[in-house]
Amino acid sequence: MAVARSLEGASESAKALLDRARAAIAAGEFVLAKELLQTIHSSLLPNDPYVLQQLALATYKSKYPDPITALNQANHILTERLNAETTNDPETLGLCGAVHKRLWELGRDREQLDGAIASYEI
C-alpha cells in the first residue's frame, strides 16, 4: 500500500496531520486539506510523492483563489515536483490528466486538451 510506505519512518505528527488532511478531503474541505498538506510537505515530508499528489489534488479541488489559478498551481506541483512529463506513475498521470482536462473545460485551449489526452495515454 502506497500510503503505508509513504509514512514509514514519518513522525506521529506527520501521520496525524495526514489523517486530518484525508478527512478534510473526504469532507470536501479542500482549502483546509491544502493547508495541512503544505505543512506536511514543507516541514515533515518534503520529498514524499504521496503527499505531493494529495497536495495537487487538494489544490485544484480547492478552486482557491479561483479555479484557473488553483489548477495552474496544481499543475506546477505535478510538473515541477513530480515530473509529470516523464513519470509513469499512474496517480501522478491521472491527476495531471484531470488538471489539464479542467483547464481545457474552462478555457477551451487545445494545448490543455492535448495535455489531458497525453496523460491518459501513458
Query: What is the pLDDT, as a whole number, of residue 3?
Result: 46
Mean pLDDT of 71-98: 97
Query: What is the pLDDT, as a whole number, of residue 12?
Result: 63
User: Quick one: 82 exposed, middle or buried, by C-beta within 10 A (0-12, 13-18, 19+)?
Assistant: buried
Query: What is the pLDDT, as a whole number, of residue 121?
Result: 86
pLDDT at 15 over 70: yes
pLDDT at 88 over 50: yes
Task: Of 28, 30, 84, 78, give the one whose Cα is nearest residue 58.
Answer: 30
Query: What is the pLDDT, as a whole number, of residue 1?
Result: 35
Q: What are phi and psi of 9, to 5 degrees?
A: 80, 0
| 2-121 has CATH 1.10.8.60 classification | no
C-alpha distance from residue 92 to each of 1, 43, 80 (Å): 16, 22, 12
Q: Where are the domains of the chain?
A: 2-121
Q: Mean of the per-residue pLDDT values for the chain?
A: 91
pLDDT at 78 over 60: yes
pLDDT in tens, 18-56: 999 999 999 999 999 999 999 999 999 999 999 999 999
